[in-house]
Structure 1
Amino acid sequence: MDSISWNVESGIQTLCESVFVRLCQIVGTSKQVAIRRDSRAIRELLDKRVLENDEAVNMESGSAGEGFRLSGSDVDYMYWPNGYRVIWDILQCEYYYNANKILILADCSESPPGFSLLELLTEERDRERNLQSVCVKMNDRLFLSSSQFRQETEAVQFPNSKEHGPCESGDLGGLEYDFAYCFYCIFWPPSASSWIDRCHFWPDDEVVNNIVRNGCHFVPIGHPLGIQGHEHKEWRISFSLAERKLVHSMTHCQFLTYGLLKIFLKEVINKHSDETNKLLCSYHIKTVVFWVIQQNAFPLWCPQNLLAGFWVCFKLLMKWVYEGVCPNFFIPENNLFLSKVHGSAQRRLFLQLEDLYNKGLTCLLQSSSIRSCLIDVLYNLRLSICTDEVRMKPEVVFDLELFNEIGRKSSPFTKNLHRCIKFLHALDQLIGIPLTQCQILMVQKLIATIIRDTAFALKNRYTATGLNKQMYIADRMSYHMMKLAAKFGFISDMAYIAMYCYKTLRYREAVYVIKIIKAKLAQPYLIYNGEVDRKRYTEVLGGKSLSTKMRHAVAGDIALNTSICYISELTPEQQSALQNLRQTICIPLFVMLHFVQFLCHRHTDTTLAQATLEELQVLVHHDQGLYVRELLRDISWEILGICQQISGNHQAALYSYQQSFTQFPLNKIQNATQIRIQELHTT
């Protein structure tokens, strides 16, 4: 009997370890998750130090902000105007006495728990967006209408967006997104003060204090039941920033359990019935995990016990569905089930969960992502599982994760020379604080990006003066800065040297630089847009420093700041993107290299110019996503059209512009495309 009991216990432990390893493959190891969070933290810290009052702050929220990279997950961002602040008490105005902020007063007196009215207190002057247009008058006071605010901000980022709760939602080339436009309050909500008193076990005091110091947000959605008739005026208190900090404070095993529950919801619970598949969402799952950890309902979180933690969370979810109550983690009086989980749908959902519960842990066999690792153990209970994360994945996997995250987050909005200097000053301040290895690489790449943009901004400023001596000095300085920047960043950063050489009429030198870049890009160990021959990369670069790998083996697409002139031929596209609130234009590296090479050869060798144009045409027409990503086909066709128009082939140029116009408008260059088409029709 003891032997049977031991075998069962040992078998369950092996199941847990197998699921742990599988989740590390799907969700990521603790090192991978740390890379995602650390790189984002540096970028957000940098932006926070340079943003001005008339700009918007953005924060990556949702699962990606928490550290997940799950297949099929959407991208969530929150945006709020930096020149506005919400306060809870009129006495808090003193905090902003010299801050030049527009103040908004939160009034919860007539709203249900978790919601508030927002009263505009300060008169708006010289603001690009005036909130008067979304205000409604009540008792001689101006309140912001959440519904009108949503209508005004709808489709700000992308024209085909739809309303989804408080968000602008849509599909970005197969990637779903949710953008929430909101307001920020640095003060902790009085209605959430009880949460602070509950934090005896988790999170620790440092995390609690950090969360409270950073306040909350207000997103434009009223209470679903329309209590007091204020549903179109009410705003929901959002704890997205606090939630992100809480998830970051979890142990990796807790984080993986949360990930397992998200997968279980998507692949099992929400697959059962059309009537119930919209009742539960990942936010309910997150709330369950928060309560379980804080109440210490499951004290032993480790790989050998992972499924027990999953089961405790699942049982709490079942209990809440049965009772029809899901208490918000920060304001428990706010029942998250109030408008959805009730009546016959609630009963059906509970019966569905009860059926899964009766199956025990075998219900996980219904998950396509988890099934195989369970079956492997069930066929061989004596299977030995290694849970050492260091041995789970090779070095190249972590390198890919790191360089992918750095590539995603290393294009700050350096709109002019003044902003570039502010960024450099902020980076200088970062050097004095403790940084992880990932953050050091992130800073290194950011330095390269900002020095490069500083060089172009400096050149543009002194070219505009027309003073020869100043122009000469600025050119010498800028050219030196360009070469310096290329020593810090990716291989693709060298393309900016070629662009600068073209801009300053150094055509042969630009072609020479492009030749060097192409030779580097031909190396078999190159990482380009997250793809690499792993075997060759490991053979050549295994064990080398991350800085060496970044400088010699990594390349990505070209990001052009829409406020800085790099190549005059692209000015209309940059202006179009800027008018549509795009901060950067993203161009495939190989398209940009052919573009600059063509422009240079026009001045030195027309035969080579035609040959380069033909190569560019083949690339744009026939590439299957290897060198020209689907999302970047708008600018790729546009550049091909520009080259064809310059060479005199107007018919081919017209076709290319028309193709550009039909692509997904990621770069927001449609206005420029229309103008170019009209120009061709008039010539």
Structure 2
Amino acid sequence: MSHSNKESLHFYKYLNQKIGSVEVVRARRLSFIFSDLACSEKETYIMTIGSRGEGLDVKGSDLDLMYISSLFVVYEPGKNDVKDQRLQFFMDIEDTSPCFTHLRLNTMFDNLSYFVQQMIQQHRGENFISSELYKSQLLKENIDFLSMLNNIHGPCLTDCSGKGDLAFCLKCDQWVTQAKSWISRPRSTWPPPGLISKITSYGVLFVPIGNKGSITEHLQWRISFSVAEKILIYSFSHTQLLCYALLKILVKEIIDKNQVVKGLLCSYFLKTLLFWISEETETSVWRPDNFIPCFMACLQRLIYCIEYSTLLHYFIPDNNLFYLRFNSKNQNTLINILKNSYQTGIQIFSASETIHDYRRFPCETTRSVCGNMTVMKTVMNQQDLYSPVSFMPTTNFIISCMLYTLLHHCKTELSRCILTLLISYEYQRIPLKLTHIDNPNNKQRYKIYKHNLSQLLVGVNSDAVSGWAILAFFFYCHKHYLKSKDIINYTLTKFTIESTLSKITLRHTQKLKRMSLSKTITNSNVLFAQNSLLSPAELNTDVMKYPIILQSLTFTHFIHFLCSYHLEDLESCIHCAKQLNAIVFDNQQLDHTKYAGELFVFDYILFGIVLQMLRVLGYGCDLLPSALFRQAADIDKFNITSAAFRLHHST
């Protein structure tokens, strides 16, 4: 093997460690596929898109979701199904640019619900659904699981922090005429005919955003090929996927440091570039030992596209994505940066945050095989990432779909393990998603108690601690304080067990079954839905506003304190306070610009509440509750929690 081949292989293995091995990527993808299933209903479907849905987890990878309603359907003129009971729209591409369309109503206006009527606007004497009114109406509706989404960002609704986008889409079940040429155009070997047939059978989506600058921008919808793009990315070899990831790192961590060109290149452009190169290249080229030349070829093509301001849409080439994208100043700056990167080679990444230590990474440790423990931790992290939509009501239909999938379609150990975990999570969260209902009938109350308890007992199989912590909280809510404390003491031992397991070598963890390992992992969170039937009374102010997410260890110590407080066990209360103090101290050592600071907000709030309650028992300490609430308020820049309110009322 030549020196260049050895360097490529070494770099490829290093990226497996930093970005994810084949198995880790597969675990990420399966986790999101099954999570999509869990959050989909009979009349809606949620799909994870973007880098996370594609199996990547690099800096800047936000959680992007598409919400597809089956109550609406789009047809091309002359192709509608008269028997279709859904609300029908026709594509109308008059006076629109490639990739955009108007959607003309094909249903009597008077037959529409008032909610939908507010989205309709007249144009050329006919009724069209407005993309702008569509988004604004969804915000006004304030659907429970959308309570955290309160801003419009392009075609999406997003939360205050902008870290998660949810696009509400309409669907056409057929492949549209504008993209017909994609099916039969000349290409090398990728994508193969079978994949093309699969992609076209899914049809296309329409996202609510118009062509910027158009006089009918507010009415237009963009044709989206997100489903097709996801399928194509899934067909990539691992070498292709890592090239895509490396381009993203180059843009986010090196190019965007220059303010003149920051934001000019986005992931969608890089994805489109990879599609074109893959279509023109033999699949045999994308080998691990040829990784660096493959990446440099991608970089060279990117320079070419920017020099000529030409990057054609992969499915509708009439749309030039780089048309009027650059001015002479930022174009020249961008070209110079990229040419310098090309000349420097992979050493350019010594200036990146993610892969700066490549040269110091020893060759003998670059193993592409990932241990089972790493895979399962990846799965657990994916579940926590999906939490913004995990508050959607769980129904028997969803559970049935998941069980059916587990029994009939899960062929691998990994897929069975992930879906089993997800089912456990759903059972764990069902009682936490229920809203308050008055039940004066004691018999009915007891029936609900037994039903919720049975679901929570299934939920303890999700991971090492969150299920047990919620079960302990369930008993606390029903004033079974001693029983709750017993469960908490058992739960806290799990954290010690995990620290012991972390010392087990890769060779040993490979032998352990994944499902067994999942029950030793403690880095999961506890989630409470808005106005949840089961939620800490001490956090009612927070739960009334938004769903909340708590770190499992913090929550466990907090419930332990509450039980001890009601049992008037001052010694145990003080012990719990010391444990929470240690957690808060550890948080203070972290850089919240790099970590999810909003997750730590409740650590400070819970500890502040504990100090307030200790004062009621006559025990005080040097640290004041107001100091904790002030720290929480500093992190909570969007005022999502009760931190500012508590600070005001504690001074």
Matched, 1:70 2:55: no
Residue in 2 that maps onto 1:197? 184
Matching residue within 602, 615, 618 for 1:635: 602
In the aligned structure 1, how far is the partner of 2:459 from the partner of 2:510?
A: 25
Residue in 1 that maps onto 2:225? 239
CA deviations on 1:428-487 (whole Å, 9 max, x unpaired) are 2112213433322222222222333456789987xx443334444543454344334324
Matching residue within 389, 394, 401 for 2:378: 401
Matches of residues 153-552 of structure 1 in structure 2 within 5 Å? 165-167=154-156, 172=161, 176-198=163-185, 201-224=189-212, 226=214, 229-267=215-253, 274-296=259-281, 299-341=284-326, 343=328, 345-346=330-331, 349-350=334-335, 353=338, 359=343, 362-368=344-350, 369=352, 373=358, 389-390=368-369, 393-409=370-386, 413=390, 419-430=394-405, 431-454=407-430, 464-487=438-461, 489-523=463-497, 525=499, 534-536=502-504, 543-552=511-520
Matches of residues 90-129 of structure 1 in structure 2 within 5 Å? 91-94=79-82, 96-97=84-85, 101-122=86-107, 123=109
TM-score (norm 2): 0.82
In the aligned structure 2, how far is the partner of 1:472 from the partner of 1:179?
A: 39
- Point out the more displaced range, 402-411 or 541-550: 402-411
1:324 is paired with a residue whose SS is coil
CA deviations on 1:171-208 (whole Å, 9 max, x unpaired) are 84xx8555544434333222111112238632234432
2:82 is paired with a residue whose SS is helix
2:239 is paired with a residue whose SS is helix
Q: 2:599 is matched by which residue type in structure 1?
A: L
- Point out the more displaced range, 302-311 or 659-668: 659-668
Q: 1:196 is matched by which residue type in structure 2?
A: I
Q: Are residues 223 and 28 of structure 1, via their aligned partners in 2, closer, same or farther at CA, if it must alter by over 3 Å?
A: same
CA deviations on 1:107-151 (whole Å, 9 max, x unpaired) are 112211111112344448896x93544543212223344455566
Q: CA deviation at 1:640?
A: 4.4
Check conservation: 1:455, 1:477, Cα contact below 8 A.
no
Q: 2:84 is matched by which residue type in structure 1?
A: Y
Structure 1's unaligned 5+ residue stretches are 1-8, 377-382, 527-532
TM-score (norm 1): 0.79
Matched, 1:20 2:21: no
Q: CA deviation at 1:585?
A: 1.9
In the aligned structure 2, how far is the partner of 1:563 from the partner of 1:459?
A: 6
Root-mean-square deviation (Å):
4.2
Matched, 1:587 2:587: no
Residue in 1 that maps onto 2:30? 38
Q: 1:22 is matched by which residue type in structure 2?
A: Y
CA deviations on 1:289-316 (whole Å, 9 max, x unpaired) are 1011112367522112223322433343
Q: Identify which of structures 1 and 2 has the higher relative contact order when contacts are C-alpha pairs closer than 8 Å and 6+ apart.
A: 2
Check conservation: 1:303, 1:387, Cα contact below 8 A.
no
Q: Are residues 539 and 605 of structure 1, via their aligned partners in 2, closer, same or farther at CA, if it must alter by over 3 Å?
A: farther
In the aligned structure 2, how far is the partner of 1:599 from the partner of 1:302?
A: 58
Q: Are residues 407 and 268 of structure 1, via their aligned partners in 2, closer, same or farther at CA, if it must alter by over 3 Å?
A: closer
Residue in 2 that maps onto 1:3? none
Q: CA deviation at 1:16?
A: 1.8
Residue in 2 that maps onto 1:4? none
Q: CA deviation at 1:351?
A: 5.9
In the aligned structure 1, how far is the partner of 2:110 from the partner of 2:404?
A: 33
Q: CA deviation at 1:246?
A: 0.8
In the aligned structure 2, how far is the partner of 1:373 from the partner of 1:643?
A: 46
1:441 is paired with a residue whose SS is helix
1:18 is paired with a residue whose SS is helix
Check conservation: 1:456, 1:500, Cα contact below 8 A.
no
Check conservation: 1:223, 1:231, Cα contact below 8 A.
yes
Q: Are residues 476 and 199 of structure 1, via their aligned partners in 2, closer, same or farther at CA, if it must alter by over 3 Å?
A: farther
- Point out the more displaced range, 234-243 or 396-405: 396-405
CA deviations on 1:16-73 (whole Å, 9 max, x unpaired) are 222212322332111111111011111112322x3556xxx54332222211111344
In the aligned structure 1, how far is the partner of 2:525 from the partner of 2:131?
A: 38
In the aligned structure 2, how far is the partner of 1:225 from the partner of 1:448?
A: 49
1:547 is paired with a residue whose SS is helix
Matches of residues 139-154 of structure 1 in structure 2 within 5 Å? 139-147=124-132, 149=134
In the aligned structure 1, how far is the partner of 2:638 from the partner of 2:598?
A: 6
Q: 2:414 is matched by which residue type in structure 1?
A: C
In the aligned structure 2, how far is the partner of 1:171 from the partner of 1:625?
A: 24
Q: 1:89 is matched by which residue type in structure 2?
A: P
2:402 is paired with a residue whose SS is helix
Q: 1:27 is matched by which residue type in structure 2?
A: I
Residue in 2 that maps onto 1:554? 522
Q: Are residues 367 and 566 of structure 1, via their aligned partners in 2, closer, same or farther at CA, if it must alter by over 3 Å?
A: same
In the aligned structure 1, how far is the partner of 2:87 from the partner of 2:531?
A: 27
Q: Are residues 209 and 501 of structure 1, via their aligned partners in 2, closer, same or farther at CA, if it must alter by over 3 Å?
A: same
Q: 2:225 is matched by which residue type in structure 1?
A: F
Q: CA deviation at 1:266?
A: 4.0
In the aligned structure 1, how far is the partner of 2:289 from the partner of 2:633?
A: 55
Check conservation: 1:525, 1:537, Cα contact below 8 A.
no
Structure 2's unaligned 5+ residue stretches are none
Q: CA deviation at 1:372?
A: 6.2
Check conservation: 2:115, 2:137, Cα contact below 8 A.
no
Check conservation: 2:464, 2:494, Cα contact below 8 A.
no
**How many pairs align?**
632
Q: Are residues 407 and 237 of structure 1, via their aligned partners in 2, closer, same or farther at CA, if it must alter by over 3 Å?
A: same
Q: Are residues 666 and 556 of structure 1, via their aligned partners in 2, closer, same or farther at CA, if it must alter by over 3 Å?
A: farther
In the aligned structure 2, how far is the partner of 1:314 from the partner of 1:125?
A: 54
Residue in 2 that maps onto 1:5? none
Q: CA deviation at 1:338?
A: 0.7
Residue in 1 that maps onto 2:533? 565
Check conservation: 1:415, 1:562, Cα contact below 8 A.
no
User: Percent of aligned pairs with the same residue?
Assistant: 23
CA deviations on 1:84-118 (whole Å, 9 max, x unpaired) are 33333364253632xxx443333112211111112
